[in-house]
Amino acid sequence: MVVIAAGTMVLDGRVRRPGWLETDGGRILAGGAGPPPRPADADFPNGTVVPGFIDMHVHGGGGASYTECDGITGAAEFHLRHGTTTTLASLVTTSPAELLTGVRALAEATRHGTVAGIHLEGPWLSRARCGAHDPAKMRDADPAEIDAVLDAGGGAIRMVTLAPELPGADQAIRRFLDAGVVVALGHTDASYEQAEHAIALGATVGTHLFNAMPPLHHREPGPALALLRHPGVTVELIADGVHVHPAVVRAVIGAAGPERVAVVTDAIAAAGRDDGAFHLGAVAIDVVSGVARVRGTSTIAGSTATMDRLFRAVNADAGLAVAAQTTSATPARALGLERVGSLRAGYDANLVVLDGDLRVTAVMAAGRWRVGASAAAG
């Protein structure tokens, strides 16, 4: 058993100063406010302990990509160092054969616990809102391809992003839901009514709200308003100050509530690397001043953010409890993940230790110190 104490701890959604928790066998046994019941094995009197971050939309990082079989472990380890203890690895639009190869590789990584599952962002997206996806490889939802992809995933596919206005989308939504896959709406040119129809069918997530979809207009509200106004929908926000203005982040959290907002990185391999040339799938990307764009265009191409950076951004506006909710508890609920997303008895011992500037100093995953173990032991 390990007892952890900290000057500040977010326990079961509440900020405790000080706080403590006890872990054993990879699970949290107990926790509470005040001093621990026995001397702490790891004490962070000037630190803040929060639930491990859950990134439900990320393509890579640290120079590695989830779209490349040999980059999966490197990308996951990079984000782990930044506090992400649960990763949903995202694939981009590609050919049918490449899609199956990518799904099989990530399904294997899921079985080994490297990632928590797969997010398919494409290929069933709108060419009009392709963003950094290859429009030449986008296609309508085909039942035979969907069945083949689900078979290749072997239960590892947890979420799929699609454009609900495409031919075959209704059938695709039903098929994915039957397979236990969360359906997200994104990279879409759908009308408000088409988005509402997809939500009625069972879509429950909005992929990077406002990005790669029509802007909200008072006569043609589009999918953004449909996603925002439905209480059963979780909306993703890339809160990096590039994809969405900080004032919009504040407004969305205020309107929808933090329990419906999941902060995501949408990070690509360039995260954690210097400016330069990269790829997202087959699409060439240039990163200048930390902003990724499709080569030769102004189109934003994912981000170079990490979850700890986004946690700091949300905390600056909304405080620790909201930052913890939007970076952990909300994505866990949206994906139907059990025993993660909060520091409470019976949950996995996934946590992040932050210093006075809210920068990562230690990370525990499943009860094991994965980052900063020597500091924690001291």
Same domain, 183 and 62: yes
CB of 256 closer than 8 Å to CB of 318? no
Residue 377 pLDDT level (bands cut at 50, 70, 90): very low
Same domain, residue pair 58 and 125: yes
376 has binding-site annotation: no
352 and 280 assigned to the same domain = no
Q: Is 133 annotated as a binding residue?
A: no
pLDDT of 256 reads 97
Would you say residue 377 lies in a domain? no
Q: Is the pLDDT of residue 373 over 80?
A: no
What does the pLDDT look like over 327-364, one tens digit per residue? 999 999 999 999 999 999 999 999 999 999 999 999 99
Q: Is 187 annotated as a binding residue?
A: yes
| Residues in contact with 56: Cβ distance below 8 Å, sequence separation at least 6, in sequence order | 88, 119, 159, 236, 262, 264, 331, 334, 335
CATH code for the domain of 141: 3.20.20.140
Give the SS3 label for residue 99: helix
Q: What is the mean pLDDT of the chain?
A: 96
- Is residue 150 domain-shared with residue 130, that is, in the same domain? yes
**The pLDDT of residue 279 is above 70:** yes
- Domain for residue 194, yes or no? yes
Give the pairing type, strands 53-58 and 84-91.
parallel
pLDDT the model gives residue 69: 87
- pLDDT at position 374, please? 55
Q: Is 243 annotated as a binding residue?
A: yes
Average pLDDT on 244-254 reads 96
Greater model confidence, 282 or 73: 73
pLDDT of residue 378 exceeding 60: no
Is 118 in the same domain as 26? Answer: no
Statement to judge: residues 101 and 43 lie in one domain: no
State the CB neighbour count (10 A cutoff) for residue 146.
21
Note the pLDDT tens digit of each residue in 307-332. Answer: 999 999 999 999 999 999 999 999 99
Instruction: Give me the CATH number covering residue 362.
Output: 2.30.40.10
* 264 in the same domain as 144: yes
- Domain assignment present for residue 317? The answer is yes
Q: Is residue 154 domain-resident?
A: yes
pLDDT tens figures, 86-119: 999 999 999 999 999 999 999 999 999 999 999 9
Confirm whether residue 208 is marked as ligand binding. Answer: yes
Same domain, 70 and 150: yes
In a domain, 378, yes or no: no
Which residues does the annotation mark as catalytic? 266
Structural domain containing residue 291 = 53-335
Tell me: is residue 219 an annotated ligand-binding position.
yes
- Rounded to an integer, what distance in angstroms lies between the CA atom of residue 249 and that of residue 252? 5
62 and 39 both lie in a single domain: no
Contact between residue 229 and residue 261 where contact means Cβ atoms under 8 Å apart: no
Q: How confident is the model at residue 375 (pLDDT cuts 50, 70, 90)?
A: very low
Residue 300 annotated as part of some ligand binding site: yes
Q: Is 224 annotated as a binding residue?
A: no
| Total domains, the chain | 2
Give the model's pLDDT for residue 348. 98
Asked if 180 and 225 sit in the same domain, the reply is yes
Q: How far is CA 339 from the centre of its chain?
A: 17
One domain, residues 12 and 79? no
- What does the pLDDT average to over 66-80? 95
Q: Is residue 376 part of a domain?
A: no
Same domain, 72 and 166: yes
